[in-house]
Structure 1
């Protein structure tokens, strides 16, 4: 593969450098569209991390906050319905269904503290819609990837209307093994 520089004055950061395929790459479905140039890839992935948090990272921050008194530094918002919230939610989360964000967010949340939103899981965009509504109100916000589904799958504690519990054994294929750090 070869890398070429963008045309002078290119405004799109993703076009910072264009990678072109080597002969024969079209036969390989992975390389049919060549990878982005390293600078463009770095910008893309850095941007993604500015918008997303991992369940293991959130759990680790909560554990450190609880055990060591470390500052949490963010607020957690569960954007699901009340019956879903009652069934299980992240300990310490604020219940703020997406539809209620415009009328209740400024009363329930501190605009000076970043917010991490979550919903059911990867098949639900409620956390993204909630994050959008919060951002439009002036909040700094990230979405917790995987939602409550992956929180439970990784074996982290949940709160219910009855108290705190662990829902099930952690899924050995997705859960961290020794701590809240997945090793990624």
Structure 2
């Protein structure tokens, strides 16, 4: 008797290689993002997709607040066309980052989504920047 996990059948090895290798083209994780930021290798712009109140309570260091509904050519005009944007939201259940990534791609902008959102960032032990307090917090 098979489980719900093994139904439908498992993908072939070639399909799995294609699928999992392509994920890195679209996603990054909290650790890789933090590593780039803390080693002066930040070759991306980090975009917060949460509401302003949540952003003010704490956000990833150097993140720019912009809601996906406000992403357009005008709001991106300050950034060179080849700027890599990394979008994040509150947690894995929030689709604001997905909506933002789609808009950025439709505007011909390079984009990746940070897996886990703020929840994942905190789970990794990293701190948020609190603008109003001018300090990091967990």
TM-score > 0.5 by shorter chain: yes
Match of 2:65 in 1: 95
Q: How many residues align?
A: 136
- Match in the other structure for 1:42: 17
Q: Is the 8 A contact 1:122 1:145 kept in 2?
A: yes
SS at match of 1:148: helix
Higher relative contact order (CA 8 A, sep 6+): 2
The counterpart of 1:135, out of the listed 97, 105, 118, is 105
- TM-score by length of structure 1 reads 0.69
Match of 1:152 among 105, 122, 132: 122
Cα shift at 1:33: 2.1
In structure 1, stretches of 5+ residues that fail to align are: 1-26, 66-70, 168-184
TM-score by length of 2: 0.90
Partner Cα separation in structure 2 for residue 158 and residue 108 of structure 1: 25
Per-residue deviation, 1:93: 1.1
Give the distance between the partners of 1:114 and 1:160, measured in 2 at CA: 24
- Show CA shifts across 1:81-106 (max 9, x none): 11111011110111111111126432
Aligned residue number for residue 124 of structure 1: 94
The equivalent of 1:60 in structure 2 is 35
Larger Rg belongs to: 1
Matched, 1:80 2:50: yes
Q: Is the 8 A contact 1:105 1:134 kept in 2?
A: no
Conservation of the 8 A alpha-carbon contact between 1:117 and 1:131 = yes
Q: Secondary structure at the match of 2:19?
A: helix
Give how far 1:137 is off: 0.8
Unmatched segments (≥5 aa) in structure 2: none
Mapped pair 1:112 → 2:87: no
Secondary structure of the residue aligned to 1:107 is coil
Q: Quick one: which of 33, 41, 54 aligns to 2:8?
A: 33
C-alpha RMSD of the superposition? 1.5
